[in-house]
Structure 1
């Protein structure tokens, strides 16, 4: 959202905002929400819009209403469960944010919650309705809080999961590590094919979502731990717990160097590295393969963000020999 009241996307390598009345990239139902919310905010704030709001995020659980075979809703404009997250501009003083949140709840079909962050004065944070969505991937349900990360391309998310599972080939007797596990996207599918999953995530809301997901999917062999991967791995090693295989899905910055070192020490037979940045993926693979401890077997790109240069990758590394 621009300081002059523009509502749209930021321009490449800039803080300027391109004003958009509609967005052809969005699912039709979410574009409908966007258009209605856009008009509401313009009417509500008038000339002060750019002074009051910094950003608006629309999150939709498209998988919850999609056809499993195509990923597209049978009715293109069928309402999609949606969260609206508004970030107030620092220093702004919104007179009645609760009223705005209540009005936005009814502005379009499918809106299940409205959250206004960083509201000045006595409010701080205002929300009405739910603070989370429930989405579906390959028949599994996931709770996703407003502060938790989740993939935005429902069709390719399924592909990403399938490629990771095919690469790692978990066995029924194995204990699996899911590092940077988020709301439990990979943990949920790993748990159905192995003895136990140890999921490690530092974002508190995502850990809570992962634990809620265990109940949603009736799974009792996932342990969701809150903390940094390097710290938890060191604790597991100290307790002499074993990890047979590992999957890591770090943010763009890649894995923490101490996490890579701890992974080498734990020595799982295979590591599946899911990456959203080829440069940090290459750096971390070089570290894991240093000293001849692991070797890279495969790397499969997955186009999660069509019409952009961003790419997801699923890389498989296997342990060389039986060193410890």
Structure 2
């Protein structure tokens, strides 16, 4: 793993120096932004739900990234208008839970927020966070952590550009900026993906392939998306380009595949829009069948470039296993899989349910779910494009019943229209899978007010080294 020359992290027990040089070529000087920088010495008293340290300063509460409870530190406070932003400059007295982050890009990237915490400290922080959020309902189970909390991401996304010397670079955007941090190895994603990206960088440096420039609108390659089948070993490489005209594509495919014969498919995705959305609508297969397959909970799933598939399969199996256990299926129940996506949890449930009905607004995801159902020989699952809430209201109006509703909404949680449809359908059990316990707690409050009781809550560490916590809750009708 190569380390950046401009990084000067020095750590010992009582003095951790976190000052570093940042690439500020795209940033105006502080004076032009009306900012005022001050240095302050603070003591951390706790953590936010995002893992930032809390500290008092001049009667105000600062949120300081990478600061741990009990630590005394020197911070830089940037005042802009009514707001103060704080950045950790130097740890004067370290906590026992502090460790040296193994990633050399940790303090610049922002993709991980907890690498400065020991694994036990991360578990304690996440447990405390979800215990606090779920206190109105019941005490959650101990969080299910990951044995090896690295290399778990089966999907990687690299952005390409040039540095000040006009050399090709690839990496991730620094937090809250469009400044690319050149990264050779991301410790939380599959190592194979990083190796492939390095080969693509070398190809670009030795050929005339140019990265896309957001300011000028010139250049070809914007991003590279890689998906890895953790069980199957199949690998998909998606080039996201600003043009459909790919000169030398045969040479590119041949070169990259010669270095990485494990690649089973390559695609060209065209995105001409000035947007933060990575993938465009136009897609062309360069090699292979355009999809990969992987196995989850004993079932095979076909994954396309745009398919949603859980990022951490090993932890997903723990999460889904717990969700199916909470559903208490006997082989007779009708199960609604709301927000079903490509059908993963619904198809897993089909092995123990009488009938599964999956509902999803994304038509492409529904097509994938139907294909996955056929691939696995599942006869008792049907998938429909539509709004799951409206679907359940119509079921209730027809006098139809479902004993179990499994819901896995986006980070924003559910809305009142959907939750009210659950109340109207009156399933005996609701299994709520959530990637955001904040919105889950809000939605549980609604369901409790409308006839349900929270019986069990199981947190799962789906995204080690980050502050995110996945949670599954079981509710029964009173």
TM-score (norm 2): 0.59
Alpha-carbon distance between aligned partners in 2 of 1:30 and 1:19, rounded to the nearest angstrom: 15
Bigger Rg, structure 1 or 2: 2
For 2:423 and 2:204, how far apart are their aligned partners in 1?
A: 52
Q: 1:2 Cα shift?
A: 4.7
SS in 2 for 1:62: coil
Counterpart CA distance in 2 for 1:192 and 1:307 is: 33
Structure 1 spans left out of the alignment, 5+ residues: 65-79
Partner Cα distance (1:44, 1:231) in 2:
54
Q: Following the alignment from structure 2 to structure 1, what is the Cα–Cα distance between the partners of residues 301 and 417?
A: 30
Query: Are residues 1:87 and 2:261 paired?
Result: no
- Tell me if the contact between 2:419 and 2:447 (Cα under 8 Å) persists in the aligned partners: yes
Counterpart among 8, 12, 25 of residue 188 in structure 2: 25
What is the SS of the residue equivalent to 2:448? helix
1:54 lines up with 2:222 in the alignment? yes
1:155 aligns with: 314
Shift of residue 312 of structure 1?
0.8
Aligned residue pairs total 300
Aligned partner of 2:468 among 310, 313, 324: 310
Alignment of 1:71-220 (within 5 A): 80-89=233-242, 92=243, 94-96=245-247, 98-99=249-250, 102-103=253-254, 104-118=256-270, 124-128=282-286, 129-220=288-379
Q: Does structure 2 retain, via aligned residues, the 8 Å contact 1:178–1:187? A: yes
Give the conservation status (yes or no) of the 8 Å contact 2:235–2:265: yes
Q: Deviations over 1:63-116 (max 9, x none)?
A: 22xxxxxxxxxxxxxxx2111122224xx5744385477445555122222222
C-alpha contact (below 8 Å) 1:144/1:206 kept by paired residues? no
CA positional deviation for 1:301: 1.0
> Scaled by the length of structure 1, what TM-score is found?
0.84
Structure 2 counterpart SS, 1:155: helix
Kept in 2: contact 1:101–1:127 (CA 8 A): no
Deviations, residues 161-219 of structure 1 (Å, cap 9, x unaligned): 11111222112111001111111111122111111000111222221221112222211
Distance in structure 2 (CA, Å) of the matches to 1:252 and 1:302: 15
Counterparts of 1:145 and 1:278, CA distance in 2: 28
**Aligned CA distance change for structure 1 residues 196 and 164 (closer, same or farther; 3 Å):** same
Partner of 1:6, secondary structure, is: strand
Change (3 A) 1:8 1:174: same
> Measured at CA, do residues 96 and 245 of structure 1 come closer, stay the same or move farther in structure 2, by a change above 3 Å?
same
| Kept after mapping to 1: 8 A contact 2:184/2:194 | no
Structure 1 residue 36, shift from structure 2 partner: 2.1
Shift of 1:124: 4.2
Q: Which whole-Å CA distance do the structure 1 matches of 2:305 and 2:315 have between them?
A: 21
Q: Deviations 1:35-65 (Å, cap 9, x if unpaired)?
A: 223333444445545432222111011122x
When residues 239 and 53 of structure 1 are mapped into structure 2, their CA distance, relative to the original with a 3 A threshold, is farther
The answer (yes or no) to whether the contact 2:337–2:356 under 8 Å persists in 1 is yes
In 2, the alpha carbon distance for the partners of 1:42 and 1:271 equals 54
Q: Quick check: 1:23–1:31 contact (8 Å CA) kept in 2? A: yes
- Cα distance in structure 2, aligned partners of 1:100 and 1:282: 53
1:252 aligns with 2:411: yes
Task: Give the aligned partner of residue 75 of structure 1.
Answer: none
Question: Which whole-Å CA distance do the structure 1 matches of 2:259 and 2:333 have between them?
Answer: 49
* Greater helix fraction, Structure 1 or Structure 2: 1
Partner of residue 299, structure 1? 457
Structure 1 SS opposite 2:231: helix
Q: Does the 8 Å CA contact 1:94/1:119 hold for their aligned counterparts? A: no
Kept in 1: contact 2:357–2:383 (CA 8 A):
yes
* Cα RMSD (Å): 2.3
